[in-house]
Copies of this chain bind each other. A is one copy, B any other.
Amino acid sequence: MPTRARIVNAAARLMRRNGYHAMGLNDVVSSGRAPKGSLYHYFPGGKEQIAGEALRTAGQRVTASITTTLSAGGEVAENLRSFAQLLADDLERSEFRNGCPIATTTLDAASDSDVIQSAAAKCFAEWHDTLAEWLRTRGHSATDAAELAALLVAAFEGALLTARAHRSSAPIHDIAETLARRLSL
C-alpha cells in the first residue's frame, strides 16, 4: 500500500479508538510505517487534513459494509441482525475499542474544525441515504424511508456508544431486535 494510504489508514485506526485529540502525529507515522517527514509532504494541511481524509475513507468502508449486508436479500429483520453481528464482532475482537470510526472524532473535534465537521457530516449523510434507498426498495415511501433511516443511524450509533460504556456487545444485538420487532420495516 502506498505511503499516503498507509498514513490515512493509520489515522483512521487511531481516531476510531481515541478520537482526534489523543492522536499524535508520531503515532500516525509509526503506526503507518511512514518515513518521518512524509506527513507534510503528502498532507500540507497537517493533522486536520489527515483527519478529514481518514474520516472519509472510514466512512466509505462503513457504507460498503452496510450495502453488502443489506443487499444479501432475505428479511429486513435478518439484515439488521447481520449488521449488528458485524458491529459486535469488531467491538469484541478489539476488546471494545473499535466502535464507530466517525463518532469519537465528531464529538471531540467537529465543533472546532470545519474540515472534520464537514467530513463527518458527509459520512452520516451517506449512511442515511444508503439506508433510505434500501428501505425504498423494500416498499417504503420516500418520506417514511428517510425518517426510518435517520432512526436506524441514530439507534445503532447510540447502541455502539452504550456498548463501549458497558464493554458489552449486548446493546447492539438488543437494538437490532427492538428495531426489527417494533418498527414496520
Q: Which residues of A contact B (CB under 8 A)?
A: 17-19, 21-22, 95-97, 99, 102-104, 106-112, 117, 120-121, 123-125, 147-148, 150-151, 153-159, 161-162, 164-167, 171, 174-175, 178-179, 182-184
Contacts and interface: CB of A to CB of B under 8 A. Distances in A.
Contacts of A106: 161, 164-165
Can you list the 10 inter-chain pairs with the closest CB atoms, starting with the nearest?
A: A154-B158, A157-B158, A21-B22, A19-B108, A104-B107, A158-B158, A120-B165, A21-B21, A97-B111, A121-B165
Given A151-B175, A178-B151, A182-B183, A18 B162 contact: no
A166 B102 CA distance: 13
Given A104-B107, A108-B108, A121-B167, 5 more contacts: A18-B111, A102-B165, A106-B164, A121-B166, A150-B162
A22 B20 CA distance: 9
Interface residue SS majority, chain A: helix
Contacts of A154: 154-159, 161-162, 171, 175
Contacts of A156: 154, 158
A157 B103 CA distance: 11
A104 B99 CA distance: 13
A108 B165 contact: no
